[in-house]
Amino acid sequence: MDEAYEREVQQADAALKRADVETAFRHLERAHVLTQRMTIRHARIHWRMGVAGLQCGDLREVVGQVPRIVASILFSRLWVPRGNSGRARVSAFAPMPVPDDLQQLVP
């Protein structure tokens, strides 16, 4: 799990450096699925999503990540909607399909 998480974060960071925000979000979403039950990592992914939103000028994403950061700190260990991408444009309460290649890594 740690290796997969680190790989997704590194790929997201590389995409952001080259201003490829869509690719960055795709990797951040995958990292989010992996870390939903890990409070600090979960909150950091939401923070990174907010930063990515700032980079591309997506105010909805930036504003939407603020309550998600708070919720990730308060609720990661209690309840999370399995597979949720973590983006501001989807309900924070909606379970979503886990990508096939992450199935074995997500509890």
**Domain boundaries along the sequence of the chain:** 2-80
- Other Cβ atoms within 10 Å of 61 Cβ, number: 21
Q: Is 31 within 8 Å of 45 (Cβ atoms)?
A: yes
CATH architecture of 2-80: Alpha Horseshoe (1.25)
**Residue pLDDT, tens place only, 31-54:** 999 999 999 999 999 999 999 999
Q: Is 81 within 8 Å of 94 (Cβ atoms)?
A: yes
Residue 107, pLDDT > 90, answer no
What residue has token string 């939407």? 64
Question: What is the pLDDT confidence band of residue 12, given thresholds at 50, 70 and 90?
Answer: very high
Backbone dihedral region for residue 83 (phi beyond 0: left; psi -120 to 50: alpha; all else: beta): left
Please state, in angstroms and as integers, the Cα–Cα distance from residue 64 to each residue in 3, 47, 68, 91, 101, following that order. 28, 11, 7, 10, 27
Q: Is 26 within 8 Å of 52 (Cβ atoms)?
A: no
What is the value of pTM for the model shown?
Answer: 0.94
Residue 93, pLDDT > 90, answer yes
